[in-house]
Structures are given as structure tokens and as C-alpha cells.
Amino acid sequence: MARPLAFASTSARASRALARSLAAPALAVALLLAVGLLLVAPPAALAQLKWGIKPEMKTPSPADNTPDKVAADRASAEAGKAEGQYALGARYLEGKGVPRDYAEARNWLDRAAQQNHAGAQHWLAVMNRKGLGAPVNMAEASRLLLLSANQGNPLAQFDLAEVWVLGQAGAVDKEEALRWYRASGSQGDREALYRAGMLLLNDPAVRKSDSEAYDLLLLAARHGHAKAMFNVSTLLSQGRGVKRDPVAAAKQCRLAAGLGVVEAQFSMGLYLLRGEGVLQDRNEGLRWLRQAALAGNAQAKVQLAVAQAEVNGDKNLAQTTVLLKQAAQAGDAKARLDLGTLYVSGAGGLPKDPVQAYVWLELAARDGEAMAALHRDALVKTMSKAELARAKEQVLARSPQPVQ
């Protein structure tokens, strides 16, 4: 499973990064002070950040909007109790039981936040981040998010990760974002688990660990995250970060497809057409391809047309493939994309050939077909070094040479 989180060293590095990158001195000072609070975080937050232990924490919600409940919250707030101040502030923020009033929301949330109420700190940060009731103030938003996150508030931890990913604190720091996504994910936030896994899997700014990415995505999938299911399926199919298992890959792909992930519907169609990880069922495969095509997946449309022709024994299939090859060789970018896709799956009477698939997808990508680049990058992860070397040689041979 995923390793425990590093703590103080990351905070020190983040402090130095902020000092280097922030242009506004006031913003820098406020955020450096806020980051410093990581070093004196409450023991419960430290345990949760380091070992994934969920701290005990109450987050009241103004779900009961009866006049008696509103009056009780107001009485509690006016008596100086943080829980009541938070509940009343949340009511004014959301307009539940009282008219929406951002000024009043700020007033009561601020009072609760000063008493170190994690929920109030988070919602006050949200107001500062979005400019609700006052101009946007990212320094104050970041300070409050850190205070709330250090108490183990998963919502604040997720939002803080977003701040680092988007550079809203003045600097982009994907490592810091990863740390907070994982902290939020350790409390069951499936979107946080998914984003942490995808950062590890794809972002060059973050240390690469396919096995840890798989673990995080699997956790997200087990919490019902549909896109995580599809990515787990892809990793199982490729043997990336985990032992290759076509049967388990097909199971995860089917779950994601059933939840509406278009890419999974396309892949499930191919699994069934090829009988990879499942019993071959061409009619069921066509059904999934048709569903993906109706959702707008361009490659599903190509595969569907070819697969239908194969199933129906279309005598013109071979001629259609020949014409597609001729168009690709003549420089038609769309034809190159379609031809590369057919070589990936071994459809249209063509063999499954990763080298030829790479050649045509790379050429299509150079011609500006964005989808070709995505398919090429996914294909590369399944190719051997020797296959990739041969493919690059063939691309070079087909590319225009500079005039001497």
C-alpha cells in the first residue's frame, strides 16, 4: 500500500519555495507564517498526516432549519460557543433557515475560527478564496486552510492541495499538493485518492511510483470512483505498477463502463471483440462500441464500423482498409489516426502491431491530431524498448528530411 507521508521536511521545502516565488511581500509573509504552523500542528493532525489515522472531529451541519433550531444556534453563538457560531455562520452562508447574508456569515465564522474551529476555518477560507462578501484574499484563504487542514479536516486538506496544484498561493508545488491529497484521501475522500494517484502516474513534477499510484487508484475505485476504476483497469492490462492481469482488468473496465466512463466503454468493446480477459462476445462488444460512439468517442466510431463489417463478413472490408492505408500514406492526418488505432487492437483485417500503431499515431500527432498523441502515449507504456526503437526508426524514415 501507499507509504506514510513525510512531514516536516516537506513543510520546510514549501516555505523556501514560497519565499522564492511570491512577488507580493504581504502575501509571502502571511503564507510563510501559515506554513510554519505545520511544524506545531496538533498531535491528532500529525498522526493523521504521517500514518493516515483519522482524528476525531465534529463538523456540525445546519440540516434542521426549523425556527426552534435556528434560535438555539443563535443563542449558542451569542453565548460564545464555537459550535453555535459555526452553525449560525454556515446558515447565513448557505441561506438555510435564515436569509443568505455573506457579511453575517463572515462575522460568525470568523468568531468560531478564532476559537480554532476547523469547520469554520475551512468555510471562511472558501469565502476568501471565492471573494464572497469581500474581495478575494488568497493569503488569508491559505492561512485558514492550513489551520483547518492541520486539525484533520479532509475538505480543507483537499482544497489546500488544489491551491498548490493551481499555484494560487503564489507557487505551484505538486509534491505539496500530493501530500494534502493523500491526507484527505486517508479519510476516505475518493476524489483526493484519485487525484493523488493520477499525479504520481502522469505528472513529471512529482516523483514517479507506478505501484503507489496503483494503490491509491485502487482505493479510490473501491470507494466507487468510476475514472479510478478505468485507470486501475488500464494498469492491470499493461502490467504497470502491478502484475498484469487481463481478467481483473476486464472486470474493472466493465464496472467503469457501466458507470458511464466513455473510454471504458470503448475499451470494454475491444476486450469483448478480442476475447481478452473475458469470453469473446462480438455482439456485446459491438454494443459497448456503439455506446461509446454515441457519446462522441471518435475512435469508437472507427472501430465500430470496422468491427461491424468483420462480424457481418463484409467483402469490402479489405478494400476499405487498403484505401485507409493509401490515405494515411498520402498524409491524411485523420486516416493516420484511424490506421494507428486499428493496428493497436488488430482490427480491420490488420494484425495487432504496436510498432506500426506507434508509427501512424506519431505521424498523426505531428499533423495536429490531439487524440493520436493520447493513444500514442498509452501505447508506449505497453511497448518494449526494442519495439519503441524500431518504431522511432520507421517514423524517422517517413519524416521529411531537412534540405542540405
pLDDT digits (tens, 9 = 90+) for 30-41: 444 344 433 333
Q: What is the pLDDT of residue 382?
A: 84
State the average pLDDT over residues 285-298: 90
Question: So what's the pLDDT on residue 314?
Answer: 60
The predicted structure's pLDDT at residue 387: 93
C-alpha cell at 51: 500514518
SS3 sequence of the chain: CCCCCCCHHHHHHHHHHHHHHCCCHHHHHHHHHHHHHHHHCCHHHHHHHHHCCCCCCCCCCCCCCCHHHHHHHHHHHHCCCHHHHHHHHHHHHHCCCCCCCHHHHHHHHHHHHHCCCHHHHHHHHHHHHHCCCCCCCHHHHHHHHHHHHCCCCHHHHHHHHHHHHHCCCCCCCHHHHHHHHHHHHCCCCHHHHHHHHHHHHHCCCCCCCHHHHHHHHHHHHHCCCHHHHHHHHHHHHHCCCCCCCHHHHHHHHHHHHHCCCHHHHHHHHHHHHHCCCCCCCHHHHHHHHHHHHHCCCHHHHHHHHHHHHHHCCCCCHHHHHHHHHHHHHCCCHHHHHHHHHHHHHCCCCCCCCHHHHHHHHHHHHHCCCHHHHHHHHHHHCCCCHHHHHHHHHHHHHHCCCCCC
In this predicted model, which residue has the larger pLDDT, 367 or 84?
84
Domain 13-184 class in CATH: mainly alpha
327 CB-near residues (< 8 Å, 6+ apart): 335
Domain extents for the chain? 13-184, 315-399
Indicate the average pLDDT of the chain.
82
Query: For cell 470496422, what's the residue?
Result: 306
pTM of the model: 0.71
- 16: pLDDT strictly greater than 60: no
- In angstroms, rounded to a whole number, what is the distance separating the alpha carbons of residues 126 and 163? 11
**Integer CA distances (angstroms), 285 to 268, 270, 289, 295, 341, in order:** 7, 6, 6, 16, 16
pLDDT digits (tens, 9 = 90+) for 130-156: 999 999 999 999 999 999 999 999 999
* From 59-68, 196-205, 331-340, 376-385, the region with the lowest mean pLDDT: 59-68
Task: Tell me how far apart the alpha carbons of residues 153 and 148 are, in angstroms, rounded to a whole number.
Answer: 6
Q: Tell me which range, 1-5, 144-148, 316-320, is most confidently predicted by mean pLDDT.
A: 144-148
More confident residue, 316 or 159: 159
Check pLDDT > 60 for residue 238.
yes
Confidence at 347, pLDDT banded by 50, 70, 90: confident
Q: What is the mean pLDDT of residues 35-48?
A: 40
Backbone phi, psi, residue 135, to 5°: -60, 155
329 touches 352 (CB < 8 A): no
Q: Residue 277 — φ and ψ, nearest 5°?
A: 80, -5
Q: How far is CA 161 from the centre of its chain?
A: 12
The predicted pLDDT at position 63 comes to 57
